[in-house]
Amino acid sequence: MSEYDDEDMEYSDQDDYEDYYNADRDVMSPPHNPDAEYFPVQCLSVDEVEKFLNELVEQLCTSIHVTPSMSKVLLYENKWAVQEVLWKYNEDPDKLFVASRMKTLQPVSVKTKRDKFVCPVCVGPVAEELGITSLACGHCYCDNCWRCHFENKIKQGVSTELSCMALNCELLVPEEIVLSTVNKPILRKKYQQFAFREYIKSHPLLRFCPGANCTAVIKSKESLAKKAICTQCETSFCFKCGNDYHAPTDCATIKKWITKCADDSETSNYIAANTKDCPKCNIFIEKNGGCNHMQCLSCKFDFCWMCMGDWKAHGTEYYDCSKYRENPQNGSESARAREALKKYLHYYERWENHSKSLQLEKQTLDKIKERINSKVMTSKGTWIDWQYLLDSATLLAKCRYTLQYTYPYAYYMDNGPKKELFEYQQAKLEAEIENLSWKIERAETTDRGDLENQMDIAEKRRATMLQDFFHI
């Protein structure tokens, strides 16, 4: 057992939540899979997605006897929920069509002579044989004007939202009318491509892979804020919002946090620096690794990069520098504003620090690969023998990534027992991550059993936190 394990055992018994944390609890969230973040998805090609959508269109066409073009509008407007559309149709078909912008309550009455029609747009007489089209709303225009309207909208990227050109009329134009009117192959192809993308975006169980130059579409059985991984390019993201995966923080909260960070970027620029002074000898120190357990090369003082306190205090007390301590302000508005800024900077600094540590630990991973390659080339074992080093670096990145996203979660939490428990688990996870990072960076002298034991502890902390606070 390492010195850090001894320290952890020494102080952990004194913690109020230790009985809760060490109780015989099942941290395996889904009973069928040990990974709390397990989320089965399918990686589909464009052809497979088209087949999937066409099957839904055909199912609706068969059930209520509408054209494929009308079926697409109904499904698009109702999030592709076939059963819901059928239920609404059986209840009141007119209400469904009106709500889906396929029909108006009071269609416009257009008076025309049998042999002549005056188009309201070009104000010219148009013979019926030259082409006149009227939508369900009753608005009637010559095909040439419709064509110009459609082409301009398609050039602007409009497809499924292409509506009647009459003022204040929101009736959607069915696909068959658009394709029968537009005769330029390039624009017809663009319209179909735009519509296909909009269909995917509107379907709650489909999501474009955000990976660079990846054309895959990810399909799941449920629309949840869980980690989806594209098997084509290995990009991971939150399935529900499509952004970077952010457990344990929910989609709405992470959106607020990212917006706040962007708005306050000028204020917080100074804390993004990678340098600080040693708290003992004041020598200039640059952080060149992911571990927050620092040792001054000059005076050999061990301290925490986050709170600049003696690292030994992180063993006699639980890892406490992740917790923000409120300073109640009953004074002026400016005093409250300063306290609010102080609180934000506390969480932002830790958020940014773990992001930078992740980048620095990528360099550590590269060094580990070079070290393993050197050992293999000099017959000091095989890649399999040294695989545990790569596994430890991968787990470290996974744990630190989760830890980074605990700070937006904590920032928006209300004070109370729940936040106290969260901060306790956050501190425990942070302590184990720093211990793991320290040992990985010194892997040459770290015992393999000690390292693997630290990996197991860190992952247990991470899994427990996600189980308790990542509510789907």
Element at 141 (helix H, strand E): strand 140-142
Predicted confidence at residue 284, as pLDDT, reads 64
Predicted TM-score (pTM) of this structure: 0.71
* Nearest partner of 451 among 369, 396, 370, judged by Cα: 396
How many of the other CB atoms lie within 10 Å of CB of 342?
A: 12
66-110 per-position pLDDT tens digit: 899 999 999 999 999 999 999 999 999 999 999 999 887 766 655
Predicted confidence at residue 271, as pLDDT, reads 45
Predicted confidence at residue 31, as pLDDT, reads 40
Active-site residue list? 291
The domain spans of the chain are 46-100, 132-202, 261-470
Can you say how many angstroms the Cα of residue 258 is from the centroid of all Cα atoms in its chain? Answer: 12
380-426 per-position pLDDT tens digit: 878 888 888 889 989 999 999 999 999 999 999 998 999 999 999 99
Q: Report DSSP letters for 53-110, one per residue.
A: HHHHHHHHHHHH---HHHHHHHHHHTTT-HHHHHHHHHH-HHHHHHHTTS--SSPPP-
Predicted confidence at residue 380, as pLDDT, reads 80
Which pair of tokens denotes residue 244?
A: 């970077």
* Nearest partner of 184 among 147, 144, 135, 133, judged by Cα: 147
| 469 to 19, 149, 173, 236, 402: CA distances (angstroms) | 18, 51, 46, 21, 12
Per the CB < 8 A criterion, the answer to whether 429 and 399 are in contact is yes
Predicted confidence at residue 387, as pLDDT, reads 86
CATH T-level topology, domain 261-470: Four Helix Bundle (Hemerythrin (Met), subunit A) (1.20.120)
* Nearest partner of 268 among 184, 183, 353, judged by Cα: 353
349-360 per-position pLDDT tens digit: 889 888 888 888
Architecture of the domain whose range is 132-202: 2-Layer Sandwich (3.30)
Predicted confidence at residue 259, as pLDDT, reads 87
The parts of the chain modelled with pLDDT lower than 70 are: 1-36, 106-115, 126-130, 264-275, 284, 287-290, 315-338, 445-446, 471-472
Q: Which residues are within 8 A (CB) of 13 and not within 5 positions of it... i.e. 6 or more apart?
A: none
